[in-house]
Structure 1
Amino acid sequence: MIRAFLKLKTLWISVVALLLLSIDCIREEDVTAPVAGIEVMLRNNSTKFPEYCDNTCPSNALVIMMLLDWDGYDIRNSETWYSFILPDAMTGIRVTAIDVKGNRTVMKDFKSLVTLSQNMMGVIDFEFDDSGERFTQPIRYVPYGKEFYLVYLPDGEPLTGIYRFEVMLMFESGRALVAMSDSINLVNPS
């Protein structure tokens, strides 16, 4: 009986050891690095983020996904999860809609998708002040190289037609990074 117990215990320890060896060790590291660039993608909430929607966020809402590129670091590295301390804090995002004729409209109708849905993980949580483009608090730390998600919630008549969106990320020093989205045809849901 004691031998059976010892064999079972040895087997259990062997299984645990094999499991531990098969799991990749992922390091976490805090680094100081500036944002070197941004990439902008448009998504329809019904196809990309339905689980994050509530009554505030229509299921067909336009979502701008903004990926950050970091100077000297690859956040797609599977061995290390980098969190970034910013030497130049992010202070705001300006979104400008550009129609097919080149007319430009600065948009104040984008909100943080994560603020509307507290269960959304892996994104940067922020809020705009009354200007609609400045953050209420500068962002000085970005855990795990997270992303921005902005959802279009029109205050009044929504945009309709074909548009591209110019997204400008602003910094405390006055520096700005700009990226342009692909075109999208916006249809009035009513």
Structure 2
Amino acid sequence: MKNKFIYLIYVILSNLPDFYMIRVWFRNITKLRAKVLKLLPNMEISNGVKIYRGVKISRNSNLILSKGVVIKEFCILGGTIAVGEDTQILSYTKIDGSGKVTIGRDTHIGRENDIFSHYHNISDKNILVNKSKECFQEIHIGNNVMLYSRVAVMGGVNIHDNSAIAYGSIVTKNCEQNFIYAGVPAKKIGERI
């Protein structure tokens, strides 16, 4: 009962406006949301985490947010998710951690990204798609990675450190360290020097 009440307080706080122009309010409300989440048993939230308005986090999620993490407006997070220090997740991003998602430190997740750690196996035509088996695969996004906006990352993918993924790409395979990827599906197009 106590956890439901704490979660309800978070939901109320997440729906309050940030009022950017009132600096004291803005600075405190983004940190207060994180402090309330920290009270839930399955949430490990470090100091300095900022959560902007409208961020939806499933109550049963297992969430680790390290120091300095910023989650911008209207993101949706659920499942098992660990985010490293000083990482930013920009507005309207969806992270499905049902198969586990790990994001390293100093990483930038752009606007409107979709990170899905599960899929439906529709390979057997004799099974109706809405009855198909759910499959779960872990996603790992390394340190100092740049995912530009509207990128989709599929289950089982490992995006290694210092990689960059261009706008609108769909990542279906692992990405090597220090390279730039773009396209549908994402392919190596350059190197970070």
Does the alignment reach a TM-score above 0.5? no
* Structure index of larger Rg: 1
> TM-score normalised to the size of structure 2?
0.19
Which of structures 1 and 2 has the larger relative contact order (alpha carbons within 8 angstroms, sep 6+)? 1
Richer in strand (by share): 1
